[in-house]
Structure 1
């Protein structure tokens, strides 16, 4: 840096110092009057309870403020703060109406040596609407976490309702009164007080209302529990012509609650018995769980849904080798090939065919029309004994060799 630049810098510093000294002299020695605008000075609402008597509530309640134009010595003006002013609006001093009201404000106190220079009317605008009240049921939104094998038996809230008062439009927004918070590692019965919060249908908090109570007590009762499988119990049989193709439970296990001694005795839970004799198509039904005394289900219902898959049994055919009985052969003729057999086809549903054997079928061949020896082809007759749901569909032919007696 050359000498000319150094001299310029020194001159600038000297000018700044001289300016600062001049400002100090003017401010502290001359102390001239100064005008200043102080913005957003809080206004206190007094006698606000008088609105209740008039059946009004403040809409969109907020911190009301005014701006003041001030004049005073510089040394005083620079020290002014909003907290130095007390400004109030008396809500009981004027006739009020629904909608926008202009309320005059009073400057109760302000700093000495300061003049307020505002010209004309000084007030705040307050919007009022009809004051209404309604009763809201309190719900719990408290997140509760339980220790292992500890389950909730019940929750109760006391009191159950809260009365809330406010402007009509605000009260109409309220959907629920809720308790919020967290309870962690709960392992015994517990009671806690929670603040009541009002929310709309979207879960947004609703403010600017008054309630007759601020808190409610949430009581949590716990019990031991464990998960066990469910066994479906049945009686009767599927009607003839139908077959059970399987079933499906709405849940395969259930969380049961009770004291530890009772729980230790239980390894599964049976349903009440279901009568299978009425099932002729796919169907579903609600079935109660057969709970031992002192045992509860966590969801409180003790009912499961069962879907039965039932189909009509298809007809099948079964071939059976049967002995043939010979009748009415002439006395002067003899049958050379004895111990005749033939195939008999029986048709029906499988469950019925499983019962049919050769002993249930009588096969008879009538040879009364044979008068001389020879070889003959015949189809015998067959009848089914004790086969109500089965029928003979075909009978095989037999070949007989007949000769004259010697």
Structure 2
């Protein structure tokens, strides 16, 4: 029995000793430092105002700057390390230049028990800088939708009318305007709004990384009744000798005008600015602005029309035309001193060359004449686009007798 107890005690002592030795091994093993790489740790730019003070700007403000950190520590510390546990800064308060800059970094926060292995004093990130550019651009208003039927909008009132933009020169050079947006769908009342502005290029695409001052614009949009009126192309001067205006085609024939009813009621048409015909030698297409009356706006922000002037050589032709009677009475006989009229007609060469007696009318109207001998004027009618320059005789003697 005593032998058995002694054996059990020996086993227990050996077990405790073995456990102690294993504990020492584990402690020594876990205290042994290991190295690892923490990838893509964000780098924050400190003292960023120094960039603008150097009259520079980030060439790519949207770029995410990162660095890979070599760290060491006990396994129990290293195995739980996260990117978020580190804060790395690049101090921009150094000598800066346009182009590529190597900016030193510093680690301002790290987990306990973790050390940085790499030499931070020689670590840096590459930051590309551009010249800081500033310029003024106009504000443009994009109106979305259409007002209620029978209504339109007057010229918008903007305050301010232009803004100051700043940013990298490569971006600023693309900016043509600052654009704001207002929806006028089904509106019949005036609109007042403060709208955000965005920098855009000539194609209307937003240009990133550009600052606008001020970033908001106040807009007043007056909604008024509308009226549709014809367009008249106003012409001055005469075509050169031997030339004729064969046709005049306009891109649109009517416009919708907007304004108070008292002004709309006074307007019967909209004229273009005068166009001088005296120097035209051949076909020409001309953009003619409208001559817009005060207190009136043109719907759709239409500024003018395109007018195509068809110019051709002028020619003339003499044609003998039979006289016809207008308002004849079947109870009477009519005898003319001349049954034909010699008519000279002129116009565009392509029109006049095909004209014959069937295209011209020579008419005497005897409605108010009774029995007897009368001298009655002859009226001549030619095709559109032509002009009757002369005809003989201009009067004929008509003898009227009862049947």
Using the size of structure 2 for normalisation, the TM-score is 0.59
Residues 217 and 95 of structure 1: CA distance in aligned 2, closer, same or farther (over 3 Å): same
Match of 2:320 in 1: 317
**Which residue number corresponds to residue 113 of structure 1?**
113
In the TM superposition, residue 225 of structure 1 has moved relative to its aligned partner by 1.6
Structure exhibiting the larger radius of gyration computed from Cα positions: 1
Aligned-pair CA distance for 1:255: 1.7
1:198 equivalent in structure 2: 199
**Greater CA deviation, 176-185 or 223-232?**
223-232
What is the distance in 2 between the residues matched to 1:187 and 1:119? 70
1:331-370 aligned within 5 A: 345-348=340-343, 353-354=362-363
CA change 1:232–1:210 in 2 (3 A) is closer
Contact preservation (8 Å) 1:194, 1:216: yes
For the aligned residues, what is the CA RMSD? 4.9
Q: 1:152-173: per-residue Cα shift (whole Å, max 9, x none)?
A: 1121222111212223223223
1:145 corresponds to which residue?
Answer: 146
Shift of 1:107: 0.6
Q: Which residue of 1 aligns with 2:391?
A: 389
Could you tell me which residue of structure 2 aligns to residue 133 of structure 1? 134
Q: Does 1:269 align with 2:263?
A: no
By how many angstroms is 1:30 displaced?
4.9
Q: Is the 8 A contact 1:132 1:168 kept in 2?
A: yes
State how far apart, in whole Å, the 2-side matches of 1:202 and 1:294 are.
32
Flag the 1:42–1:221 CA change in 2: closer, same or farther, 3 A.
same
CA shift in 2, pair 1:85/1:313, >3 Å = same
What residue is the counterpart of 2:219 in the other structure? 218
Distance 1:231 1:45 in 2: 64
Report the Cα offset of residue 174 of structure 1.
2.1
Q: Say whether the 8 Å CA contact 2:229–2:269 is kept in structure 1.
A: no
Which stretch of the first structure deviates more once superposed, 157-166 or 222-231? 222-231
1:76 alignment counterpart: 77
Residue by residue over 1:248-271, the C-alpha shift from the partner in whole angstroms, topping out at 9 and shown as x without a partner, is 7764443232345776x68x9257
8 A Cα contact 2:154 2:259, kept in partner: no
For structure 2, which runs of at least 5 residues remain unmatched after alignment?
A: 1-25, 235-243, 272-276, 325-334, 345-356, 367-372, 377-389, 395-403
Deviation at 1:144, TM superposition (A): 4.2
2:369 maps to none
Instruction: Report the more deviating stretch, 185-194 or 250-259.
Output: 250-259
Asked if the contact 1:87–1:105 (Cα under 8 Å) also holds between the matched residues in 2, the reply is yes
What stretches of structure 1 of length at least 5 have no aligned partner? 1-25, 234-242, 273-277, 322-339, 362-387, 393-406
